[in-house]
Each structure stands twice: as C-alpha cells, then as structure tokens.
Structure 1
Amino acid sequence: MPVMTTKIEGRGNGIKTVIPNMDEVAKALSRLPTYPTKFFGIELGAQTTMANDRYIVNGAHQADRLRELLDVFIEKFVLCPSCKNPETVLLVNEKKEEITRDCKACGAQTMLDMRHKLTTYILKNPPAGSTGKKGKKGSKGAADAGAPKKDKYAEAEELREAQLAGTNLPTIGGGTASPANGNGAAAEEDDDDVAKGFNNPAVANRKLTDDDWAVDTSAEAVAARMKNLAVNVDGFAGGLGDEDDDGEGAGDTKYTAFGAWIEENKEDATDAEIAAKAKEMEVWGKHKACIELGQKLWRDDLVKDVEKRVKILGVMTTNEKAQKSLLGGIEKYFGNDHPELIPQLPKILMALYQADVLEEEVITTWGTHVSKKYVDKETSKKVRKSAEPFLKWLEEADESDDDDEDDE
C-alpha cells in the first residue's frame, strides 16, 4: 500500500484536507476510496466531500493523524480477525443488514461491528458484486443454476478483482455508476451536457438521503449551495460567492463606487459595515471588490491596518482570483497613489501572509510575473523590485523546510 499523502487547502472556515492518492490507497486495500474517507469524517466529526475523484475532509488534519486513523480502518474493516490477512472482500446482506469479511487466505467469514456508523454507509453503498443475492426460480439468477459450482476461493478472488476494478459500482439511489468515477457515486454531466439537455438516468434517478456523504456537484446543486452559503463577520451574515459573474469591463462603476465608499469611511467603518456595503452594492464575493480593498483600505500604519482588517480581508479573499485582485489593488496603492511608501511593501506582504490572507504560491507567482493589468509595466517592475526582501525570505524559508525534511 502506498503511503497516504495529504494536502491542506483554504483557510478559516473553508480550510480542508485533501487526500490526493486515496484512490491508490483504497485500491491496495480492495475497498472503495469513499469508505476510508467517510471513516475519517466519522472519527474526526468532520464533513467529507467525495466527488470527481477528489477526497476531502473538512478542517486541517495532519498526515500522521489520518494515517493513524487509516490503521484503525484497516483493523476494523480490512484485516481478517482469524489470520490477520488483508486480502478480504466485503459481502453485504442488505436484507439482514449484515456485512461480513470473506478472507481468501483462510476462508473465514467474520461479521463487521455493525455498531460503527460506517457500516450504515456501506450498506447504502455496497462494493461491486458484494450483495450476493441469489436468483430465485424463474428469475435471471436461475440461468446459472446448471453451471458448475465455483470454488469458494475462486469466487472470492473474482469478487476482489471486481471490487478493485470498480466496475458496475452501485449509485447512492440504486442502479450503476460509471467506473471512471471510482467513488461509488454516479458520474455527473459536464456543463456542456447540461446545456444540451443531456440526461444521465443514473444521475436523474439518484436519491440522496440525510445519511449520504457524497456531495452533489451538479450545476444546480452548486448554485443552490452558493446561494445559501453565509459568512459571519462581526454579526453580519451574507452570501459569499467564488466568482465575479460580471463580463469583462462590466459593472466597473459599482466597484469604483465601493472603493470610494471604502476610502471615505475606512477610519470608522467596522468590518460588518464594510461587508454590508459590499452586499448592498452587489460586489460581495466578487474578486474585483478586492482590488478596491487593496487600493483604498489603508491608512497611516499599514501593518496595523492589516491586523485591524484581517477578518474582512480573510472572508473576501477565499480563492486565488480574489487574492490576485487584492495584490493588484496593492500595486495601485504603492505604484500610483503612494510611491513614497513603497519601502513598506515587504512589511505589508509579510503581515498579509502571516494572517493567512495571501497564500505563498499566489505571492510567489505574483512576484515573478510582471504585469501591466493594474499599473504600467515599469511601475509593476518597480513594485515587485521593492517586494524582493520578502520574496527572498519566502524562498529561503522553503529551502530551510526542504533541508529539514532531508535531514529527517
């Protein structure tokens, strides 16, 4: 089994732990990748997302902790209690609501602990060919009645291979799903298919229940979630979107008006009032609003301003596009409005980085790519030149981390 790897993404309430190689880990265990992922969520009390071959546990979780939980999962749901061999397959009896491990090494069949919450999920989402339903007289299963009886171990091996291959995986609401997905959920239509009215029966007939942990990623479901998503800033709650749905150059007037309001009220306005004004002007959750924040939010002491405004900055820069826009506004502030303050740029970048407003990759990419999107090219070069002390510090910190890992 490969060593399970993790990657922490996002920040604040949106922070999550991604498991990039969950497919490979699960395949080595002859289990669907949704099973260990769901197990992590149950044990950690966290929500999980399992769609489009991405396996995510909400919150920041260290790799060592998840590996410990994986060992527990293997002990409870993989290893044969009799011989401790991991080469087992799950047999699901939906009628009796029982799940047993069939060991192809010693032939023992042992029941799982049905008190664990994961067994409920497995019953609803059994692996391929695991239900073992026998055909009744006159039914489709009767066609095999005259066939030679297979050796028990051969049957177990075939079942294991089928589960590894992920063929004919059951959907959440019945039927079968595409093996390309490999996560027990029906394949979703892409945007073009939706636009053309393409209808996938496996998706259309699927029924989600409160116990299902798979996330519906259809365009309609995403739109509904975004509509209901709320961000609380000092008592203010408002929907936060990830994208600017204005066309190129459209709606610039409202952003200019928002920036003018920020500049006029930055001394006394609270974060909640800024958020409320952004909502009122229909720029809340739009990346272009971050340009105005980056250019108009600052007063005399920029580092203290970051400390004061870390909450509103954090909730309005939840994606890479918004962070780039904030840096664009900062370029305009130092490059065009206050070139005399440009020596302070490394300090404000450090403050924004340490406050988790800006991610390292975004800052590094910005620092190495001169652009004339927000200021002229020469000014852009000058701004990035002044940021070199901080960019060098970031690079050296990375090299130091790499050296520490090598020493270990």
Structure 2
Amino acid sequence: MAVVNIRRDVDDKFYRYRMPLLQTKIEGKGNGIKTVIPNMADIGRALSRPASYPTKFFGCELGAQTQFDEKNERYIVNGSHEAVRLRELLDGFIEKFVLCKACKNPETDLKISKDGMIHRDCKACGAMTDVDMRHKLTTFITNHPPPKKKKGVKGAGKAAGQSVDDGGCDDGENGGSDDEFTAKIASEAALIPTAEQRAKENGGDEWSVDTSEAAVKARVKALEGGITSSLVLAAGEDDEEAEDENSPYYQFGVWLTEHRKGGSAGGECTAAEVYKKAQELGIENKHRSVQLIMQSLFTEDAVKEMGKYQAVIAKMTTSEKHQKSLLGGLERLAGIEQPSLVPSGVPKLLMALYQIDALDEEIVKHWGTHTSKKYVDKDTSKKVRRAAAPFLEWLDQADSDEDEEDDDLDNL
C-alpha cells in the first residue's frame, strides 16, 4: 500500500508521520452511484481518529450523504468523486481536526469539554488548541465522541502501513507490518543479494560469510573472551538450542557480533542487512530474534547506535512476546555485555524503544516492577530495573498529567 506524509505539504521522505494514500472505488450507476473508500479505516488509524470523522467531513464539504459500516470497515460517500478531490478534502480535515494549531504536529487527541467545546491536545508540544466549532462536523463529533484511548497506545502515524504483511508465521507470532519507520527496511533488504546470488555473480566463488558448522566454530573461538555469553537466549530449555552451532539463533547471534561496530567482519552492518540475515535464517518473525539483536548487535555506544537500528527493531517487534524478549535482550546488554550502560544508558534506551512504538507502556511498567531470572541472575535483574527508574517515573508522571488534563476539561 502506498503511503504519504500526513502533512502533504512536507516533502521530507523521512518525515515521521505517514498514512496510506487514499483510494477510491466507484460502485453503482445512475442515482445509486457511490464512492467507496476501501482504506479509510487504515487512514483513520494513522490519524488516530475514527474513520467515520473524515468520511463525514467529506459529506459535509460535498453536500453528500455518507454511510459507515465500522464492523466491516466500509465507508461510503454518495455520488461519484475522484480520488484526487477526496485527497484534497482529507488535507482540509487534517488541518482542521488533526494538526496542532501551535506546532503543526499530527500527534494529537480530541478532547470534548463539558460545555461541548472540542480541543486538540498535542502530545508533542503540550498545547491545547480549540477546533473551529462553526464547522458542521463538530456536531457529529460531539454526538459521536472519540473512544477513550487505552494507556500505552501512542499517537498518530503508528498504523500508517499496517495492512502490509510480510507473510505467514507460526507459534502465535505475527508476521509484522510496515509503517513509516520500517517500510524502507523491506525494500532495502529485498535489494541485498542472497549468498547463492552472490556466488553466481562472482562466477561460482562464494565470498559471503561461511555459516557452516566448522566455520562457525572457528569464528566463535576467534572472538574475544566472554563474547559467547551474548548468544545465550534465556534460562532453562533454551540453553541447549542456544549452544547448538546449527541453530539459526546461534548463527544469527554470531553474525550480529561479527558485524556490529568494531566486530571481526571489519564493517558495521545496516538495519536492512540485519533483517535480511534474519530472513535467510527463517527467524525474522521469531521473538528471540529481537532479543539477540538487542543483546548482540549493540556496543557501549548503544544509545547512539539505536538511531541506526530502530527501524529493524520496530519492524520485528510485533507482539507482547516480542516486547518481553526485547526487554530481556536489554537486561543482558546492560547487565552483562555492556555494564557501562548502567545507569544512564538504560532509561535512554527504553525511551528510544518506547518512542518508536517497540514497547507499550503497560508492558514496560510490569517489567519494571517484576524481577525475573529468565535472562540474567536476580541481582543483575534488580540492577537493570533500578537503572530504569527515571524512565518508569516519567511514564507515571505522564499518566498523572494526562489524568489532570482530563479533569480540567471536565471542569470547563
């Protein structure tokens, strides 16, 4: 699915906030002709607005009746309307009901006060700006207020590409979805040749890294002392698989260690190469893969390196199980592999992961208050969680401020 910047006047291809390009489908004939918007539900999710709002906005602007079937995600505007025209109207809806009036950021929520006034609450700059109550849509919004937002669900742009599927998966692990952070990863990874393709291009001479059992053993022995500890996945039943050189997880961990900054491969890998390697090993959808990325790819400069790899982490973290494994990888990274990250690096890494939607609030809070021996020993687990305290306090303060804002609006 094609995606565009939510603010279409911004031509920066790295602009964070994205949405699907609006599509139309004309159905019926004569007086029964109508325009169906098949991806309106995805657009609504990207804007953090019910899909009925922009659809109703179209009806107000065009003087046309609208129909909503939210259960089946079917949104209709009566009459025949070109996609170009509706995209222009969508820009108008975004300007009036999504963008913060102060900073023009789309990361806003709609709040309705007791007197019926509608406000845009900006999570980026903190401004509370009024919506133009003269527009007809405001009556519809007042009668159909936005659903209460669940804690831990962040703002606009997250759902921009969530209909793009990378394929099947098993063990209850989702295949993952592309969004504004990760669409680039899949396209770049697709351009990286496989080992077989590289061999053909070089006349049959294989110049890629040898992943045979003998080669893996030789490289592991050559690595600096203690580095093999980073390949341990978790306590208990996973240990045996982690120590098996034929395991794809073992091979992935070795590859990450060799191709990280200062690794023995002599060059630092890209995010696309990390994803491509996971694909080659058939573990791109597995929760333990993100744990290995976190604990084996980063160095003592992890806070700086996060910007380079945040896209592949966001792409591969697709479920609660993935998030818990990601936190387990963080425990091993800071608690064992790179202890210099304790204490200042841990809260910064958590903030970075939270901001790219790789971690949900409730999962982080539960992790922060429940010591576990699954990934590290109990003392190390406590140490990492104590280091995370500034970030956990920030989450609590953000919740408190949000509750106070709701109370203030109710008192208006």
Q: Give the alignment's TM-score, normalised by structure 1.
A: 0.46
Q: Give the alignment's TM-score, normalised by structure 2.
A: 0.46
Give 1 or 2 for the bigger CA radius of gyration: 1
